[in-house]
Amino acid sequence: MNRQIVKLFGLIVVLFAVLIGFTSYWAVFDAKALKGKEANARPLLEQQQIRRGRILAADGTVLAKSVAKGHGAGRRYSRRYPQGSLYGHPIGYSFVRQGDSEFEKFHNDELVGSESEFGSILEQLSGRSQEGDDIVTNIDPAAQQVAMSSLQEQGFGAVVAIEPASGRVEVLASNPPYDPNRVPYELEKFNLNTLERPLFDRATQGTYPPGSTFKVVTAAAGLDSGLITPQTAFAAPSPLEVEAQPLENDFNESFPPISLDTALTSSVNTWFAQLGQKLGESTLFEYMDRFGFNSTPAIDLPSDQVYKSGVYDEEELLGPGDPVDIARVAMGQERLAVTPLQMAEVAAAVANGGKLMKPQIWSRVIDPDGRVTKRLDPSEYSRPIDGQTAEELTTAMQGVVSEGTGTNAAIPGVQVAGKTGTAETPGNESCGGGEAENQAWFIGFAPAEDPQVAIAATVECTERFGNDAAAPIFKAVAESILASEGS
């Protein structure tokens, strides 16, 4: 019988080997696929057990935090946004079931503390549960509040404010807002609201016709390429035949030979159309590229939630060589579509002596023990124009505010440089019909001699013009930021 007993034992060995084989399959080889199964709640539940770091405004105001429910192994965290809808953009949301967006998504690794692999192994060994790092942003809460309430007076739109010298994003507001605290309950409703689109961050994803604010880019190209100087003067008749279509100035006014200052102050369309024609496609597109057009802005937000600015044919960006009416591009018409963030970057580059800094929302990362583990090191994105061009352009833009189309942006005792824009968008379906079909803009910076802040403000589907709808927003936000920086 002994032979059979040994064989039987052999069979048991084989059977147990099968068990080990199956266990290794589930625990190791197929583990990744199993974790992705919809029926598997474990990955979600584990996420809930990590205390995600807080997100703070520049002054320490808590914008997002995690609150615990339950104790011990049953403890789980969920996200709270104490400021409600004010920071729905750009902070976004992060929930286990609904996913994440915007700043929460971009900085997820730091917020869950999974930055260093070595650190997390150490923590596992020491039995410490994973904890996220806090992130302090550059957002100025007072100015964000001012931006949001000013926007809400004027209509749907967005405001972006950047510190020119560092690229710090101090305000990023989009109206209508949404309350991220409601996302677990109303995400579907937010998504179905195609009229207001509250989850749509107009500051980074709204691609609007820039209107006359784009003349700043055209002027910068003209001056920096040496094609014109501030003294170069030429006539600007109205109407002017361009591409077989008449192009008119406001009130169909014709101008005798004028220089850049006058042309920008009075926003003379036909003057910039001619400048655009002289520059040609390749030069103008080159300067657009230098200012960051045609690329995803280098801001710390998920790249699929930040749109490129440029001349669009449907979904496709056009470049030099494509059939483009360059004269109308030069004055901000044609199929130009730009984000408020991009226009704020244009203003910031001029304000910073021609150096464009990478716009960044985050400022520092603080670990659970209170140590600063990372600090924003401002870096240059590009140098679209030289210092002299920036200076000459600033002078011209000051005229816009002091005596031109943008007088509502003027701040008593402060020199403001800026440019208005009013793009007519007839038949714009997103405005829901009616007369209110203007896209009102103001971009600028202050103080002109030592710029502390560069701002782009825009209001969509309004009956009013840039100076009436957007310039007051600029003024209010700039005043708020200058007041807090002066104090």
Partner 1 sequence: MNALRSPARNRELLALIPVALLLSAGFAAVFAQENARLGNLSLVYGAYFLAVCLATHAYLRMRLPDADPYLFPLVALLTAFGLVMVYRIDESLARDQANWFVLGLVLFALTIHFLRDYDVLERYRYTIAGAGLLLLLAPRLPGIGQQVNGAYLGVKLGPLAFQPAEFSKICLVVFLASYLREHREVLIVGARRVLGVTLPPLKHLGPLLVVWGASMLMLVFIRDLGSSLMFFAAFLALLYVATGRFSFVVIGMALFLLGAWFFASTVPHVHDRVEIWLNPYNEPAGNGYQILQSIFAQADGGLFGKGFGQALIDFPGTHRALLPAAQTDTIYSLIVNELGLFGACGVILTYLLVSARGFKIALLADDGFSKLLATGLTAVFAIQAFVIVGGVTRVIPLTGVTLPFISYGGSSIVANFVLLALLLLISDRARREAAR
Q: 16-52 burial, b for 16+ CB within 10 Å, e for fewer?
A: eeeeeeeeeeeeeeeeeeeeeeeeeeeeeeeebebbb
Which residue intervals of 232-268 are DSSP H helices?
Answer: 260-265
Nearest in space to 225 (alpha carbons), one of 443, 118, 384, 416: 384
Alpha-carbon span 351 to 453, nearest angstrom: 8
Q: Do the beta carbons of residue 427 and residue 420 sit within 8 Å?
A: no
Angle of helix 215-224 versus helix 387-403 axis, rounded to 10: 140
Shortest reach from residue 49's CB to partner 1, in Å: 7
Q: What is the 3-state secondary structure (H, E, C) of 352-416?
A: CCCCEECCECEEEEECCCCCEEEECCCCEEECCCCHHHHHHHHHHHHHHHHHCCCHHHCECCECC
Give 68 or 235: the residue with its C-beta nearer to partner 1. Answer: 68
Per-residue binding letters, 75-94, with partner 1 (x by CB under 8 A): xx------------------
Burial of residue 131 (number of CB atoms within 10 Å: 0-12, 13-18, 19+): middle
Alpha-carbon span 416 to 444, nearest angstrom: 7
430 binding partner 1? (CB under 8 A): no
SS3 assignment, position 181: helix
Alpha-carbon span 393 to 471, nearest angstrom: 19
- The torsion angles phi and psi of 405, rounded to 5 degrees, stand at -85, -5
Per CB under 8 A, the segment of 44-52, 259-267, 392-400, 460-468 that binds partner 1 is: 44-52
Give 16 or 316: the residue with its C-beta nearer to partner 1. Answer: 16
6 binding partner 1? (CB under 8 A): yes
22 binding partner 1? (CB under 8 A): yes
Alpha-carbon span 305 to 316, nearest angstrom: 17
67 binding partner 1? (CB under 8 A): no
Q: Do the beta carbons of residue 374 and residue 332 sit within 8 Å?
A: no
486 binding partner 1? (CB under 8 A): no
5 binding partner 1? (CB under 8 A): yes
45 binding partner 1? (CB under 8 A): yes
Alpha-carbon span 269 to 250, nearest angstrom: 8
44 binding partner 1? (CB under 8 A): no
Alpha-carbon span 305 to 295, nearest angstrom: 13
Interacting residue with partner 1 among 48, 265, 305, 398 (CB under 8 A): 48
Shortest reach from residue 363's CB to partner 1, in Å: 33
Angle of helix 141-154 versus helix 471-486 axis, rounded to 10: 170
Angle of helix 340-351 versus helix 269-291 axis, rounded to 10: 90
What would you report as the CA-atom Rg of the chain, rounded to the nearest whole angstrom?
Answer: 28
Interacting residue with partner 1 among 67, 70, 109, 375 (CB under 8 A): 70
13 binding partner 1? (CB under 8 A): yes
94, 150, 166, 212: which is the annotated catalytic residue? 212
Interacting residue with partner 1 among 84, 122, 124, 483 (CB under 8 A): 124
Give 45 or 235: the residue with its C-beta nearer to partner 1. Answer: 45
Give 20 or 244: the residue with its C-beta nearer to partner 1. Answer: 20
Give 70 or 84: the residue with its C-beta nearer to partner 1. Answer: 70
Give 16 or 303: the residue with its C-beta nearer to partner 1. Answer: 16
Interacting residue with partner 1 among 60, 97, 117, 127 (CB under 8 A): 127
Report 310-369 residues binding partner 1 (CB under 8 A). none
Per CB under 8 A, the segment of 68-76, 160-168, 234-242, 373-381 that binds partner 1 is: 68-76
Alpha-carbon span 337 to 206, nearest angstrom: 9
28 binding partner 1? (CB under 8 A): yes
Interacting residue with partner 1 among 35, 80, 189, 375 (CB under 8 A): 35
Shortest reach from residue 128's CB to partner 1, in Å: 11
Active site annotation includes 212 = yes
**Residue count, binding to partner 1 (CB under 8 A):** 45
Per CB under 8 A, the segment of 6-14, 208-216, 255-263, 476-484 that binds partner 1 is: 6-14
Per CB under 8 A, the segment of 19-27, 235-243, 347-355, 461-469 that binds partner 1 is: 19-27
Interacting residue with partner 1 among 60, 73, 371, 486 (CB under 8 A): 73
Q: Which two tokens stand for residue 436?
A: 């209110």
Residues that bind partner 1 (CB under 8 A): 1-9, 12-13, 15-16, 18-20, 22-24, 26-28, 30-31, 34-35, 37-42, 45-46, 48-49, 69-70, 72-76, 124, 127
Residues recognised as catalytic: 212
